[in-house]
Amino acid sequence: MDAVRALLETQPLFTLLLTVALGYVVGEINIKGVALGSGAVLFVGLAIGGFAPKAAPPALVGTLGLLLFLYGIGIQYGAQFFEGLTSVRGLKANAAAAVGVIGAGMASLALVPLFGLRIDESLGIFAGTGTSTATLQAVIAAMKGDGAAVGYSVAYPFGVAGPILLLYALSALLKAKIEAPAAKTIETAEISLRNPEIVGLTLAQLKARLPVGLAIAAVRREHHNQLPTDDLVLRTDDVLLATSTEPALLREAAGLLGELQPGRMSSHREDLDYVRLFASSRAVVGLALRDIRFPDGITGSIVQVRRGDADMLPNPELILEVGDRVGLLVNRAHTKTMRKLFGDSIKGTAELSFISIGIGAALGLLAGMIPLPIPGVGKLTLGLAALLLVALYLGKIRRSGPLVWTMPLSANLVLRNLGLTIFLAQVGISSGPKFFSTIAITGASLLLYSLLIVLVLVLVTALACLWIFRMPFDVAAGVICGATGNPAILAFANRVAPTEKPDIGYAMIFPSMTVTKILFVEIVMVLAGG
C-alpha cells in the first residue's frame, strides 16, 4: 500500500485521471433507478485524498475546470437567463432560492448559542453547505483563524451529497416521472386552397388568421412553385406548403384552407428545391434571420432550422448558431452559391473560436476581481460568479462585430462535462485529508451540524418552489441546484429531470445566490464586530 500511496502522491496528473475514471465507474452503478453520475467523482476523490494526502493536483487545475463549466453554461443559456430574470417566473425562482439560502444562514447562526460553536466555524459550515468558495474567502478575510476552513471542509461534501440524496428522495416521494421531451421535427402539408372565405385574401391577411406555430413556406400556382410574398393574392386551387412542428396544426390548417394533396409540390422541383446546409460561416452565424442577406440575384427562403436534436420554425428574431442545420428553398442552380454563403462545413461546426473564449473568459475573471462597495458592509468581489454573469450576457448578445461568442452545442457540452469532471476530481482529492482529519478530531458533531444546515437549505427551497410557488418539479430542481450551488448537483438533477429547465434554473439562480451568500456573511460579520 505504501508503494501505491507513493505513486499517487508523486504523480498528481495520473491521480487526477485515475480519479475521473474510477468516479465514472462508481457513478454508473445503478441502485433502484438512481445513479450518481459525475457526482461520484467527488466521493472517489475524497477517498483517494484521504488515502494519499499529498496527491492533490494544483488548485489552478480545479479552477480551470470550474471556469470551463460555468462559461459553457452561461454561453448556452444567456438568453433564457435574462428573459427569466425579468419575468414573474424568474422572480419567483430567485425569491424561493433566497428564502432557502437565508434560512440556512440563520440556522447556521443558531448553532453558536445552541451548541457553543464559534461564529467563524458556523459561517464556514454555511459556506460549505452552500459549496461557495467565494463565501468562505469572505469569512477568512474578515476573521483570522482556521475555524471557517474547518467548518467548510467538513460541510462541503454534505453540501454536494445531501442535495443529491434529497433530490432523489423528493422525486420518489412526489413520484415525479419526467421523461426527456421528444425532439421536435418540422412536418409539412401540401394543401389545395378551396375555401371561398380565404380566396381573394393576401398572404399577409391569411397569416394573421393562422394559428401560432404554423407557417406557409411556398405556393404553387400555374404549374410553378414560388416563394410566398405578403402581397400575393390567393386564388382557388393554389397549393400552399404549410409547415409546423405540431402535426395537429397541419390538420387544422387543412380543415381551414381546403384539402390535402400530397405530392403536388414536392414532385416538381424545377423552380424551387430543398437543400439543407450547416451554418458554419461568419457571414451568417450570430445573425438574426432577418439580417441575413442572400447574394444579389438569388431569392430563397429559410424554412427550417435544426439545432441539436430539435427543429425550430424560423422567425425573423431567431439567431443562427454554429452547427445549426438550415433548410432552404432555393432554385437548384443557386445551391453552390448558398453553400458558400452558409459555409456548410461539418468540420467548421466543430471548431471553436478560442479568441472569443479567451476574451470572454478573461473579461469574466477581470469582472470577478473588481471590488464592489456595499454600504454598511464594505467591499466584496464576486470571483467566478462574475464570470458566469459575463458569459450569460455574451450568450444573450451572441455576437459583437466579428466576434461570435456562441460555440457549437456539441463542443459546449464536451467542454462543460470535461471542466466539471476535472473540478470535482481536484476538489475531492484536495479536500480528502482535511475532511478525514477533522472528523477524527471533532467526531460526529460537525457532521450532524452540517447535515442539519443542508436539510434546511434544500427543504426550505423545495417547500417554497413546490408548495408556495407551485413550480413543476424540473423547474424546482433547477432552482434547488442554483441555491445549493455545486455543478455535481445539477448533473444529478439532469438525470431525474431530463429537460433543459434544471440547467436554465441553475444559470438563473447561481449568480444571484452567490452574491446573496456573500452579502449574508459580510452583514453578519459587521453586526458581530468581525
C-alpha angle 479-484-489 in degrees, rounded to nearest 5: 85
- Confidence label for 456 from pLDDT (cuts 50, 70 and 90): very high
Residue 432: what pLDDT?
80
Find out whether 149 and 136 touch, Cβ atoms under 8 Å: yes
Instruction: Give the pLDDT band of residue 374 (cuts 50, 70, 90).
Output: low
Mean pLDDT over residues 498-517, rounded? 80
Q: Provide the residue ranges of all domains of the chain, joining segments of one domain with +.
A: 2-52+62-179+359-527, 187-349
Q: Which of 31-35, 149-153, 400-404 has the lowest mean pLDDT?
A: 31-35
Strand 378-380 to strand 372-374: parallel, antiparallel, or no bridges (unpaired)?
A: antiparallel
Question: What is the DSSP code (8-state) at residue 290?
Answer: G
Core vs surface per residue 54-90: b (16+ CB within 10 A) or e: ebbbeeebbbbbbbbbbbbbbbbbbebbbebbeeebb
Q: Tell me phi and psi for residue 225, to 5 degrees.
A: -85, 140
Length of the chain: 530
Is it the case that residue 298 has pLDDT exceeding 70? yes
For residue 126, how many C-alpha atoms fall within 13 Å in the half-sphere facing its CB? 36
Report the pLDDT averaged over residues 62-87.
Answer: 81
Distance CA 372, CA 154 (A): 30
DSSP one-letter code for 223: T
Instruction: Compare 328 and 84 and report the one with higher pLDDT.
Output: 328
b/e map 150-187, b = 16+ CB within 10 Å: bbbbbbbbbbbbbbbbbbbebbeeeebebeeeeeeebe
What is the CATH architecture assignment of 187-349?
Answer: 2-Layer Sandwich (3.30)
Report pLDDT digits (tens) over 88-128. Answer: 888 888 999 999 999 999 999 999 998 888 888 899 899 88
Confidence of residue 462 (pLDDT cuts 50, 70, 90): very high
- All cell numbers assigned to 29: 452503478
Where are the extended beta strands (E) located within 86-204?
187-193
Radius of gyration of the chain (CA): 28
CB-facing half-sphere around the CA of 234: CA atoms within 13 A:
29
Q: What is the pLDDT of residue 506?
A: 81
Q: What is the average pLDDT score of the chain?
A: 83
Cell numbers for 499, please give them: 429537460
The pLDDT value recorded for residue 182 is 62
Kind plus residue range of the DSSP H or E element containing 275: strand 273-278
Q: What is the pLDDT of residue 407?
A: 81
What is the per-residue pLDDT for 37?
66
Contact 191/261 with Cβ under 8 angstroms? yes
Sign of the C-alpha dihedral computed for residues 249, 252, 257 and 262 taken in this order: positive
Euclidean distance between CA atoms 366 and 383, whole angstroms: 9
Cell 471542466, residue located: 419
pLDDT in tens, 234-292: 999 899 999 988 888 888 888 888 888 887 787 788 888 889 998 888 888 888 888 89
